[in-house]
Structure 1
């Protein structure tokens, strides 16, 4: 064989080898990522060819698939419209999926490896393939109460079972109707999505766990108080400076209280009283005394800066680094660059309610196949243990005082001990304050911990405070859980 033919043979052999390698890589290495590409129409049509599993709240379907006569065969519908949208997300042919629809997609569409043998059984028996159903932890009454109480105000509500971490309510406002994005009329879907995505109020954003984080305001005083009590240098009766305004070190600026005057006689106030009336100057002084390392350490113990999935990913909350004294004073009262999700603030209250043990939040209680056999279930798991039982008891006592005689009286429930903390957070010129309430009930046997955020003062505008606007919302959610 002459040299040119030999070289040509080698080139052809190399091309065949390259083709074989490329085919192998595509079919075995890249197959899953190619299937998961949003624009893969064949994969999308295949996912519509079998019944997608339901998403359940109690005994009711929050998301269910119904048979159709068009090319998609199954239509995803949301019977409660916007009520559970922040939890379920949407399942759209054009725009993919979000929320539980996305995070539990492998179970819902039946492709999970844990369903492999069930798929084989369906093939052998000739039964139609069907995805698994996902049972959520959401308490329907709490969810409805949160949605109704928040109303048209922009904000978020999240409630937890402090003993397990189960998420009992997850609501943001404004929200949206997922049916408009799951429709088989793709032109209407595109029109709806464009309208929603361009809306400056961001109805597609789950404010409880994602998006632009919020300054927590005076709800962060719980973290500062926890750091003080855990240090061993302070008790609930310890005396703190509480003037009407506090000069920030090295500046000509003053940090005032949210109310006229000082926090106590002779500009002195106890730690408990300071939390009860939400004394800014006392907690700013306390933060500077403790130091930024102590505050940051306690914030981190509660979960600030840590990644979390519920199973949707949660944006980590933030306590800033490299603070000077004035910045530290502001950070100690939840201002400056401190930022948090409503879920994180609910977790702080839940940890206090649970004797210092902070449980991992979760939304999925169990996953069942079409025969209702449990494939997977979630067990309560400890996330952190930021404070001692003694500190938790002290903080509970202080928070009860907030509701019984302080800034949070609008969260009081007759015949029930309620622990709480209000917050009013400034976040820029030209805007009203964001207002907060976080707490738990019953304080002596906690069944629910809650965080409420209302943006830009809600309906109260410039007159807004956490006690006026957010506390009544929290009250209704807690009442729904404990059955009052």
Structure 2
């Protein structure tokens, strides 16, 4: 009998211990997974009771809360809802939160007490005012970038940022939607059905979440690998119309099957300006799988940027042998990037090889406008030496001249046209920077835009990117030196 009691007691203690371990894991390590899940009914109730803080950019209120006729708080998006929806997301008592509304939910609800406040109600949540979030985005540039895509009916994304700091000036995604309709309980169900039925997936932030084959803009990274392998702008490469993938009888051709600059041998400078596939296959094979992977990693391919937004990582893919290296060297096969990663790539060249962490939230403020936190520029790594960055920048100036036929805009650029599925129209890219303005831009238009199978980055995407660069604000002047501090 005593033995049975002892066994029962031990078993009971083990069950209690297992319960305590599980409770600790849930509360301490998996709080975000459970507490922030849109299906959590506690979150639904809190969304109704808490007066969330505002989200603003450039002095314009983009998201705010008000009490509806039922006495509960409802989210509203009073300014430029379509331009900002893929960045802001939505708050719905039926469908939860998304994008920055989800990523900064703790700040916007003023939850600074830690995870326990997510599950344990104190009765003080009602009418509590959350912190406000201020974005780095320039509203005018955001509106222009979105209009560049939306007015043409394009699907894709445009990202503009400052190379020296990483702050995002525009992050446009198309198609978009009206988050007010999802936030409103009376229209939420119909709006939800509409956006989910749209094949363009408007609920995605295509600038952050859509990882696509980059095509020839990836040649910036292949060039970096080539420079490390000993190539120079004057190195000679093949300009022939096609090359055979190593160990196969499969040809890889230049765009349109045409020779580059008449065929024969061309310099890297010419190959970059004319985007000669066969030349970059040769250089990529010489750099090798390790060289290509090291360069891609240094530029952030395969890395998710933590900006409070869901993000795709992109990938170089596996490079087991020559054919895979050859195809990847021109941004095809399994290579993928997001528009944000592409903008960072261009910005890194503009910033003398220093890759800065991109950020979209400038600061978080309490209701009394005191500062909770503020973003600071953060260097991630040195992807290029200053000399390598200057060399690639010079090649990009030459590419802009070849694409645009004009030498007066001061832009350095690279275009790309990427195949992605048999029979599908190509995705087309443009990355560029204006060093004088300290702005870099990336544009991707999916499925050929309005030109279908014959679309190229130079035809479709580059006019959009140039419009953004022309309109982008110059960096603010440095703060005036304090006279008293100067005397001291």
TM-score in terms of structure 1 length = 0.88
1:478 aligned partner: 469
> Structure 1 residue 439 and structure 2 residue 435: aligned?
no
Change in CA separation of 1:307 and 1:181 when aligned onto 2, cut-off 3 Å = same
Change in CA separation of 1:106 and 1:430 when aligned onto 2, cut-off 3 Å = same
User: Which deviates the most, 44-53 or 23-32?
Assistant: 23-32
Unpaired runs of 5+ in structure 2? 117-122, 475-488
2:477 aligned partner: none
What is the aligned residue count?
465
Unpaired runs of 5+ in structure 1? 117-122
Which of 298, 301, 306 is residue 301 of structure 1 equivalent to?
298
Change in CA separation of 1:23 and 1:432 when aligned onto 2, cut-off 3 Å = closer
Shift of 1:26: 6.4
1:85 aligned partner: 85
2:47 aligned partner: 47
Matching of residues 65-464 of structure 1 within 5 Å: 65-113=65-113, 129-151=128-150, 152-185=153-186, 188-211=187-210, 213-231=211-229, 233-259=230-256, 261-264=258-261, 267-404=264-401, 406-409=402-405, 415-441=408-434, 443=435, 445-464=436-455
Tell me, in whole angstroms, the C-alpha distance in 2 between the residues paired with 1:365 and 1:30.
30
1:120 aligned partner: none
Alpha-carbon displacement from aligned partner over 1:60-89 (angstroms, at most 9, x marks no partner): 011111232314234433432211011101
User: Which deviates the most, 41-50 or 317-326?
Assistant: 41-50
Shift of 1:306: 2.2
Tell me, in whole angstroms, the C-alpha distance in 2 between the residues paired with 1:205 and 1:322.
30
Q: Secondary structure at the match of 2:128?
A: coil
Tell me, in whole angstroms, the C-alpha distance in 1 between the residues paired with 2:88 and 2:417.
30
User: Which deviates the most, 143-152 or 251-260?
Assistant: 251-260
Alpha-carbon displacement from aligned partner over 1:297-352 (angstroms, at most 9, x marks no partner): 11011111223211223211111223322222111110111111111111110100
Change in CA separation of 1:115 and 1:380 when aligned onto 2, cut-off 3 Å = farther
- Is the contact between residue 343 and residue 451 of structure 1 (CA under 8 Å) also seen in structure 2? yes
Tell me, in whole angstroms, the C-alpha distance in 1 between the residues paired with 2:25 and 2:250.
64
Shift of 1:25: 7.8
Tell me, in whole angstroms, the C-alpha distance in 1 between the residues paired with 2:22 and 2:384.
51
Shift of 1:202: 1.0
Change in CA separation of 1:238 and 1:50 when aligned onto 2, cut-off 3 Å = same
Tell me, in whole angstroms, the C-alpha distance in 2 between the residues paired with 1:127 and 1:425.
52
Tell me, in whole angstroms, the C-alpha distance in 2 between the residues paired with 1:364 and 1:461.
36
- Is the contact between residue 302 and residue 358 of structure 1 (CA under 8 Å) also seen in structure 2? yes
Alpha-carbon displacement from aligned partner over 1:177-209 (angstroms, at most 9, x marks no partner): 111111122xx3122212212322211111111
Shift of 1:266: 5.6
Shift of 1:128: 5.3
Tell me, in whole angstroms, the C-alpha distance in 2 between the residues paired with 1:307 and 1:158.
16
Alpha-carbon displacement from aligned partner over 1:92-150 (angstroms, at most 9, x marks no partner): 1111111110010001011124999xxxxxx99x9952101100111112211111111
2:478 aligned partner: none
RMSD after superposition: 3.2
Shift of 1:18: 8.1
Q: Secondary structure at the match of 2:158?
A: strand
User: Which deviates the most, 197-206 or 35-44?
Assistant: 35-44
Q: Secondary structure at the match of 1:451?
A: strand
Change in CA separation of 1:24 and 1:385 when aligned onto 2, cut-off 3 Å = closer
- Is the contact between residue 141 and residue 170 of structure 2 (CA under 8 Å) also seen in structure 1? yes
Tell me, in whole angstroms, the C-alpha distance in 2 between the residues paired with 1:17 and 1:317.
45
Tell me, in whole angstroms, the C-alpha distance in 2 between the residues paired with 1:227 and 1:28.
44
